[in-house]
C-alpha cells in the first residue's frame, strides 16, 4: 500500500460538537481530505468553547476530535456563501453533517438538493433521530439517547439511579456508523455513477447496540435488568471482584476458562459441584457462586491475582483509571498515543484512531483554527482570483467584519 487509504476522498463536513467531528476524524486519520465548514457568524464549531482548557476560540475538547482537518469559514445561509459551497460540492465525494434531522432540508444539503451540481455526491446526515419519525425536530445529545434507548436501565448496580456510561458512547458509536455509511455510499457512487443520501441517527445507533438483549426480549419476552458489579446477564463468573487492595474483572466466557480458574483460586472442588457444572447451572446459582468467589479474591492483592490468572490463561484485568490505561504497555505497543503541535497549547498528546488499514499513522496535524484554510482552498482548490474573493467577502460569504451592515 502506498499512501493513506482514503487519500483520494474529499469530504465537505458541516459538523459540530462531538459525534460528527469524531466520525469525520476517522476519515481524516485515514487520509481523506476533510474540509470543515464553520459558521463565522457564530464563532465556528461550538466545540471550540467547551471547558475546561478553552481559550480564544479553541479548546482541548475541539482538538481531540478535529485533527487532520481543514477549516473553511463560510456562511451557508448567505446566498454568496451558498455559491461557494456549491463550488466545493462539485469537486467533493461527500457532504457530511451532524445537525438536527430537519436541518439538512432547510440548508439544502440533501442529495435531492445537490444532485444537479454533482450527480455522484453522497450526502451523509448524522442526526439525533434521523430524517423521519415523530422526533425528527427534537435535538438529541448522548445522555438523552442513553436514557431513551434503555442503556441507563442496564447500567449500574440494581437499586441505584439510572446511570449513563462514563463516556459518550452513543456519540462515538454514531460517528463510526456515519463514517462507515459514508464510505459505503462513496463506494456505490463510484461503482454506479449515482450518489445517495445516508440517513444515520444516534437513536438508531443506540437501539441497534441492544443486540442480543433486544433479541431475547423481542423473541422470548425477556426483560433485561441491571446486574451487580457489571456482571454479564447470563455468563458467570463474568464481572468485577474486590481484592485485598482494589478491583479486578474476570470474564469466563468459555467453559475452559472456568476450568482454568479453579486451580488458581485453590477451589478445584467446585469443578465437581453440580451447582456449577455448566453455564446454565452457574447462572441459576449465581449468588452462591459469587459469594464463594468474593471470599477467595479478598485474600490477595489485585496484582498477585492478575499475574496468576494471566499465567493460567484466564481472561482478566485490573479496573484501571484513565491514567493507568494510558500508561499501559499495550497502549504504547499499539501506538495509541500521538502528538501534535499547537501554537497556543504547545505539544498536545492524543489517543490515536482504532481504525487500522496498513501501517499505523504516526504523523498528525493539529485541529485547524477557525477559517485557517479558507483562503488557500479558495485559491488553490476552487481557483478563485483575488477580485472574486473580494466580491464574495464584500457580500459576507465568509462572515461579516465587525461593525459591517448586513448584505443587501
Pick the CATH number of 228-319 from 3.30.365.10, 3.40.50.10860, 3.40.50.2300, 3.30.1540.10: 3.30.1540.10
| Tens digit of each residue's pLDDT (9 = 90 or more) over 16-70 | 999 999 999 999 999 999 999 999 999 999 999 999 999 989 999 999 999 999 9
Q: What is the mean pLDDT of residues 247-260?
A: 96
Q: How far apart are CA 297 and CA 237, in angstroms?
A: 12
Q: How far apart are CA 214 and CA 210, in angstroms?
A: 5
The pLDDT value given to residue 362: 83
Residues 139, 100 contacting (CB under 8 angstroms): yes
Is residue 331 pLDDT above 80, yes or no? yes
CATH topology of domain 10-208+354-394: Rossmann fold (3.40.50)
Q: What is the mean pLDDT of residues 351-376?
A: 93
Residues 231, 249 contacting (CB under 8 angstroms): no
Q: What is the mean pLDDT of residues 97-109?
A: 95
Contact partners, residue 157, CB within 8 Å, separation at least 6: 226, 228, 229
Band (112; pLDDT cuts 50, 70, 90): very high
Is residue 8 pLDDT above 80, yes or no? yes
| Tens digit of each residue's pLDDT (9 = 90 or more) over 265-307 | 999 999 999 999 999 999 999 999 999 999 999 999 999 999 9
Residues 370, 48 contacting (CB under 8 angstroms): yes
Band (3; pLDDT cuts 50, 70, 90): confident
Q: What is the mean pLDDT of residues 128-143?
A: 94
DSSP β-bridge partners for residue 11: 34, 94
Q: Would you call 232 a catalytic residue per the annotation?
A: yes
Annotated catalytic residue, options 232, 285, 350, 364 = 232
The pLDDT value given to residue 361: 86
Q: How much of the chain exceeds pLDDT 90, in percent?
A: 94
Q: What is the mean pLDDT of residues 163-181?
A: 96
For strands 247-251 and 238-242, give the pairing.
Answer: antiparallel
Helix axes 79-90, 386-394, angle to 10 degrees: 140
Is residue 229 pLDDT above 80, yes or no? yes
- Alpha helices (H) along 117-236: 142-148, 151-154, 169-192, 202-208, 211-220
**Boundaries of every domain in the chain:** 10-208+354-394, 228-319
pTM of the model: 0.92
Q: What angle do CA 60, 61, 66 make, to 5 degrees?
A: 95
Q: What is the mean pLDDT of residues 229-252?
A: 95
Amino acid at each position: 500500500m502506498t499512501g493513506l487509504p482514503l487519500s483520494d476522498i474529499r469530504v465537505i463536513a458541516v459538523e459540530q460538537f462531538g459525534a460528527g467531528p469524531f466520525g469525520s476524524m476517522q476519515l481524516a486519520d485515514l487520509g481523506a481530505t476533510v474540509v470543515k465548514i464553520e459558521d463565522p457568524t457564530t464563532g465556528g464549531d461550538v466545540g471550540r468553547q467547551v471547558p475546561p482548557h478553552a481559550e480564544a476560540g479553541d479548546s482541548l475538547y475541539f482538538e481531540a476530535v478535529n485533527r487532520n482537518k481543514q477549516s473553511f469559514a463560510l456562511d451557508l445561509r448567505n446566498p454568496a456563501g451558498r455559491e461557494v459551497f456549491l463550488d466545493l460540492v462539485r469537486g467533493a465525494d461527500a457532504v457530511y453533517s451532524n445537525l438536527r434531522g430537519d436541518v439538512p432540508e432547510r440548508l439544502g444539503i440533501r442529495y435531492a438538493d445537490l444532485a444537479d451540481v454533482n450527480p455522484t455526491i453522497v450526502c451523509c446526515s448524522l442526526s439525533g433521530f434521523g430524517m423521519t419519525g415523530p422526533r425528527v425536530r427534537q435535538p438529541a445529545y448522548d445522555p438523552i439517547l442513553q436514557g431513551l434507548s434503555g442503556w441507563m436501565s442496564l447500567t449500574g448496580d440494581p437499586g441505584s439511579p439510572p446511570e449513563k456510561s462514563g463516556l459518550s458512547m452513543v456519540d462515538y458509536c454514531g460517528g463510526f456508523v456515519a463514517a462507515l455509511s459514508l464510505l459505503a455510499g462513496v463506494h456505490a457512487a463510484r461503482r454506479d455513477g449515482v450518489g445517495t443520501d445516508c440517513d444515520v441517527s444516534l437513536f438508531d445507533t443506540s437501539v441497534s447496540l441492544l443486540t442480543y438483549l433486544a433479541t431475547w426480549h423481542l423473541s422470548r419476552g425477556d426483560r433485561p435488568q441491571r446486574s451487580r458489579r457489571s456482571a454479564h446477564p447470563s455468563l458467570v463468573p463474568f464481572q468485577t471482584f474486590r481484592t485485598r487492595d482494589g478491583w479486578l474483572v474476570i470474564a469466563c466466557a468459555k467453559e475452559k476458562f472456568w476450568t482454568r480458574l479453579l486451580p488458581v483460586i485453590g477451589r478445584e472442588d467446585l469443578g465437581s459441584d453440580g451447582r456449577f457444572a455448566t453455564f446454565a447451572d452457574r447462572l441459576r446459582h449465581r449468588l452462591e457462586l459469587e459469594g464463594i468467589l468474593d471470599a477467595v479474591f479478598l485474600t490477595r492483592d489485585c496484582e498477585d491475582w492478575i499475574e496468576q490468572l494471566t499465567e493460567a490463561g484466564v481472561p482478566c484485568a485490573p479496573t484501571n483509571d484513565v491514567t493507568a490505561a494510558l500508561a499501559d504497555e499495550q497502549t504504547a505497543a499499539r501506538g495509541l498515543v500521538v502528538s501534535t503541535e499547537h501554537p497556543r497549547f504547545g505539544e498536545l498528546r492524543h489517543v490515536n484512531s482504532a481504525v487500522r488499514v496498513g501501517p499505523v499513522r504516526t504523523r498528525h496535524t493539529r485541529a485547524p483554527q477557525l477559517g485557517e484554510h479558507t483562503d488557500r482552498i479558495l485559491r488553490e482548490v476552487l481557483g478563485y482570483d483575488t477580485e472574486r474573493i473580494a466580491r464574495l467577502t464584500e457580500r459576507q460569504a465568509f462572515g461579516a467584519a465587525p461593525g459591517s451592515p448586513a448584505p443587501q
